[in-house]
């Protein structure tokens, strides 16, 4: 992994502001692992993307996560803490090769979705599922090619299940228990929106720090950003910011 620094992370954040959230993931991953281009990162499975984002998040902000939830049954507020390990699907790897499903006279070759696929259907949320199927699935009925949109519901359901099984890191669920009423429920954890929120907070604080130090000492933004975080903090304490 590249040694990330304040300057290039701030630049990635600035780029990301104008981007679709799915593109932000690719921007961050290509910054952290430049051995893959942004196009290559957009072509990896969502599970592989999210394993990368989890690793990046641990490097930037540590392994501990904090979040707030409210019980759907009694509205009790829950303060959650969990770790990177809790979010890694155990032993999970993504099936990168095309897979095959045979059901009810249908033979279906399919692969798991990538960021490219999600971006391609993002403008059409009402039909996202059908469009995603068309991109990731090649189906035949009795040897004759058929459109994915004509597949019976049962085959589509099976395919959805098989795709999820083939890329278990793509959707992480956390099981929550309400301390007040003991209700249990699963919630989906999205590392991309969580990490982006943290980077936004970090960038705002950093720019505030640059402003304080530049005002006090007349240093340039470049000089301030190239300092270690420890040094910046010590100078900030000296100027009482």
Region near Zn ion per CB under 5 A, out of 90-98, 166-174, 179-187, 229-237: 179-187
Number of residues that bind Zn ion (CB under 5 A): 8
CB of residue 76 vs Zn ion: minimum separation in angstroms?
4
User: Of the candidates 178, 192, 199, 213, which one interacts with Zn ion according to CB under 5 A?
Assistant: 178
Of the candidates 76, 134, 138, 190, which one interacts with Zn ion according to CB under 5 A? 76
Based on the shown chain and the rule CB under 5 A, indicate whether residue 77 belongs to the binding site for Zn ion. Answer: no
Output 62 or 179, the one with its CB closest to Zn ion: 179
Does residue 71 touch Zn ion according to CB under 5 A?
A: yes
Q: Does 80 bind Zn ion (CB under 5 A)?
A: no
Please tell me whether residue 57 adopts helix, strand or coil conformation: helix
Q: Rounded to whole angstroms, how far apart are CA atoms 179 and 69?
A: 12
**Considering the rule CB under 5 A, would residue 72 count as an interface residue with Zn ion?**
no
Please state the separation of Cα 153 from the chain's center in Å.
29
For residue 130, which phi and psi values (nearest 5 degrees)?
A: -65, -45
* Between 75 and 215, CB nearer to Zn ion: 75
234 vs 13: CA distance, rounded Å:
25
CB of 77 to Zn ion, least distance (A): 10
Residue with smaller CB distance to Zn ion, 181 or 238: 181
Structural Rg of the chain based on CA atoms: 22
Q: For residue 73, state whether it binds Zn ion (rule: CB under 5 A).
A: yes
To Zn ion, the closest distance from the beta carbon of 65 in angstroms equals 21
Nearest to 189 by CA among 60, 86, 62, 40: 86
Please report whether residue 58 would count as binding Zn ion according to CB under 5 A: no
183 interacts with Zn ion by CB under 5 A: yes
- Rounded to an integer, what distance in angstroms lies between the CA atom of residue 117 and that of residue 170? 13
* Residue 108 tokens, joined: 């279906």
Q: Residue 187 interacts with Zn ion (CB under 5 A)?
A: no
Question: 101 in helix, strand or coil?
Answer: strand
What does DSSP say about strands 184-189 and 77-83: parallel, antiparallel, or unpaired? unpaired
Give 40-92 as a DSSP string: HHHTSBHHHHHHHHHHHHHHHH-SEEEEEEE-TTT--EEEEEEEHHHHSPTT-
180 scored as a contact of Zn ion (CB under 5 A): yes
Residues engaged in binding Zn ion (CB under 5 A): 71, 73-74, 76, 178, 180-181, 183
């Amino acid at each position: 992994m590249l040694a990330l620094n304040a300057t290039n992370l701030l630049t990635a954040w600035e780029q990301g502001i104008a981007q679709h959230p799915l593109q932000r993931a690719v921007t961050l991953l290509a910054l952290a692992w430049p051995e893959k281009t942004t196009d290559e990162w957009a072509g990896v499975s969502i599970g592989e993307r999210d394993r990368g984002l989890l690793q990046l998040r641990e490097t930037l902000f540590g392994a501990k996560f904090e979040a707030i939830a409210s019980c759907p049954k009694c509205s009790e507020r829950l303060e959650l803490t969990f770790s990177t390990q809790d979010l890694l699907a155990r032993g999970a790897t993504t099936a990168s090769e095309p897979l095959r499903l045979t059901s009810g006279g249908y033979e279906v070759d399919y692969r798991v979705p990538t960021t490219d696929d999600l971006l391609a259907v993002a403008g059409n949320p009402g039909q996202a599922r059908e469009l995603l199927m068309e991109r990731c699935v090649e189906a035949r009925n009795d040897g004759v090619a058929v459109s994915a949109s004509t597949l019976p519901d049962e085959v589509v359901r099976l395919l959805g299940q098989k795709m999820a099984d083939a890329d278990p890191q793509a959707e992480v669920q956390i099981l929550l228990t309400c301390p007040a009423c003991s209700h249990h429920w699963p919630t989906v954890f999205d590392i991309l929106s969580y990490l982006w929120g943290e980077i936004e907070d970090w960038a705002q604080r950093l720019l505030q720090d640059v402003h304080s130090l530049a005002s006090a000492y007349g240093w340039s933004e470049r000089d301030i950003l190239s300092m270690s975080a420890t040094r910046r903090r010590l100078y900030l304490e000296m100027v009482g910011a």
